[in-house]
Chain A
């Protein structure tokens, strides 16, 4: 049973129609991180793909930046309930990074500098749904927002878009990441409001 809050009328916006349930619109870009912001020098940066045993691919910053890029305009939805519409990014499609890899993996664990991890079904990283992004609103991605490069997988809550990405492990079965082990939903679809365990 819902309790009506005496005297509360709220502040509706015409943009609310575009928002997943329980979200509100912001024009800021709030920061949420579990610890200090890692500062990764570009000459030490690398991005790897492995299968849990063997490294399958590796790019240093220059090799990564030599890959073809895409510009992306997407809406962002954070589990802490803010949404931000029409953000502009530039990045490398994960399809391209995985293009020549033969795998039977069903899931992926994404690793970050600083130790953060998040898990996704592999298919959510493919089919033009996920990028390794390095520019935001036409600027180099700031460290507090995940620079030099972060995963961008905008159809899921933003904690899945791991900041400071350093590698992707392809896995034959699922394994929860950092927040997924601490009460957050394993999949995190904002349109189904999958915020926490049990949602």
Chain B
């Protein structure tokens, strides 16, 4: 069943990524980590559908936020990030996915590891935790190309400052801020050992990002003693020619 959402706000996260807020009548609600399908339809009936992770916490108001990274050769993402305007209507289906989800009743420590725009479903988990008033300890390791590529910087800082039990580590792959303690580079065993939950605490790990990132991060977690069945992954990319 396709729902029709109305665009109520647009916010640029970075030079190439935009958060779209939709108000969706009769939205059945979602769980943090789930995604939606978005359908665009041309005047002659041709349509294109792509999946996007939900960035917003579960709520009772029918509000759904997605953050879309513009892919230069994409078919749908350039429209969503450049053409779509407040007041437009957008078709969506969902929520979809019952595995890469975090529910507030989970009591174990949570390790989130994001590569690039893989932060989106993890942000929904952090927001879900905050809105449910849960104090389960969360850690986020967020790997990005450079400081300008960070999504949700202010809200992440706010949530981390307000509640010391959400800890935040940025890792930069290309360019780090001045005086950053770690030189730019991909995540490695030392970073995992120093900034993530140890396996003996029994955390569930959620890893989201491009395939090469997820392969690397999950390999490091397993090598660090984490049981593969406590590691949940969501992979994207190379994301196809026309996303």
A-B interaction:
yes
The yes or no answer to B159 lying at the interface (CB within 8 A) is: no
Contact mask for chain B residues 86-109; partner A; CB cutoff 8 A; 1 contact, 0 none: 001111000011111000000000
A35/B232 contact (C-beta < 8 A), A28-B240, A81-B49 known: yes
Main SS of the interface on chain B? mixed
A-chain residues with CB within 8 Å of residue B232 when the two chains form the complex: 34-35
Query: Which one of A4, A115, A183 contacts B97 once the chains associate, using CB atoms below 8 Å?
Result: A183
Contact A4 B41 (CB under 8 A): yes
Query: Which one of A38, A82, A196 contacts B240 once the chains associate, using CB atoms below 8 Å?
Result: A82
Name the residue of chain B whose CB is nearest to the CB of A8.
B40
The yes or no answer to B83 lying at the interface (CB within 8 A) is: yes
Beta-carbon contacts under 8 Å, A120-134 to B = none
Contact B48 A10 (CB under 8 A): yes
Query: Which of A10, A27, A178 gathers the greatest number of chain B CB atoms within 10 Å?
Result: A10
**CB<8 Å pairs between A and B, sample of 25:** A4-B41, A8-B40, A8-B83, A9-B43, A10-B47, A11-B48, A24-B242, A26-B241, A31-B211, A31-B214, A32-B235, A34-B100, A34-B233, A35-B218, A36-B218, A36-B222, A36-B228, A37-B215, A37-B218, A81-B49, A115-B229, A144-B211, A144-B215, A179-B99, A181-B98
A10/B42 contact (C-beta < 8 A), A3-B4, A22-B49, A35-B228 known: yes
B-chain residues with CB within 8 Å of residue A55 when the two chains form the complex: none
Contact B242 A7 (CB under 8 A): no
Contact B99 A34 (CB under 8 A): yes
Contact B42 A26 (CB under 8 A): no
Query: Bound complex: CA of A178 vs CA of B97, how far in Å?
Result: 12
A7/B79 contact (C-beta < 8 A), A34-B232, A35-B232, A183-B98 known: yes
Contact B240 A26 (CB under 8 A): yes
Contact B240 A114 (CB under 8 A): no
Name the residue of chain B whose CB is nearest to the CB of A22.
B49
Query: Bound complex: CA of A183 vs CA of B36, how far in Å?
Result: 13
B241 to chain A, nearest CB (A): 5
A-chain residues with CB within 8 Å of residue B46 when the two chains form the complex: 9-10, 12
Contact B89 A33 (CB under 8 A): no
Contact mask for chain A residues 2-19; partner B; CB cutoff 8 A; 1 contact, 0 none: 111111111110000000
Contact A30 B41 (CB under 8 A): no
B96 to chain A, nearest CB (A): 7
The yes or no answer to B219 lying at the interface (CB within 8 A) is: yes
Query: Which of A2, A7, A8, A32 gathers the greatest number of chain B CB atoms within 10 Å?
Result: A8
Query: Bound complex: CA of A8 vs CA of B241, how far in Å?
Result: 18
Q: What total of A-B pairs shows CB separation below 8 Å?
A: 110
Query: Which of B222, B239, B240 gathers the greatest number of chain A CB atoms within 10 Å?
Result: B240
Query: Bound complex: CA of A35 vs CA of B50, how far in Å?
Result: 22
The yes or no answer to A42 lying at the interface (CB within 8 A) is: no
A114/B41 contact (C-beta < 8 A), A3-B89, A33-B235, A80-B51 known: no
Beta-carbon contacts under 8 Å, B190-243 to A = 211, 214-215, 218-219, 221-222, 228-229, 231-233, 235-242
The yes or no answer to A25 lying at the interface (CB within 8 A) is: yes
Beta-carbon contacts under 8 Å, A86-141 to B = 114-115
The yes or no answer to A63 lying at the interface (CB within 8 A) is: no
Query: Bound complex: CA of A28 vs CA of B233, how far in Å?
Result: 20
The yes or no answer to B75 lying at the interface (CB within 8 A) is: yes
Besides A2-B41, A11-B75, A30-B235, 17 other A-B contacts (C-beta < 8 A): A4-B41, A5-B41, A5-B42, A8-B41, A9-B43, A24-B48, A25-B241, A27-B241, A30-B238, A33-B233, A33-B235, A34-B99, A35-B229, A35-B231, A36-B218, A37-B215, A115-B229
Contact B40 A36 (CB under 8 A): no
A24/B43 contact (C-beta < 8 A), A30-B235, A80-B51, A81-B51 known: no
A30/B228 contact (C-beta < 8 A), A8-B42, A24-B75 known: no
Query: Which one of B43, B48, B211 contacts A30 once the chains associate, using CB atoms below 8 Å?
Result: B211
B-chain residues with CB within 8 Å of residue A34 when the two chains form the complex: 99-100, 232-233
Contact B41 A182 (CB under 8 A): no
A134 to chain B, nearest CB (A): 20
Query: Bound complex: CA of A34 vs CA of B48, how far in Å?
Result: 25
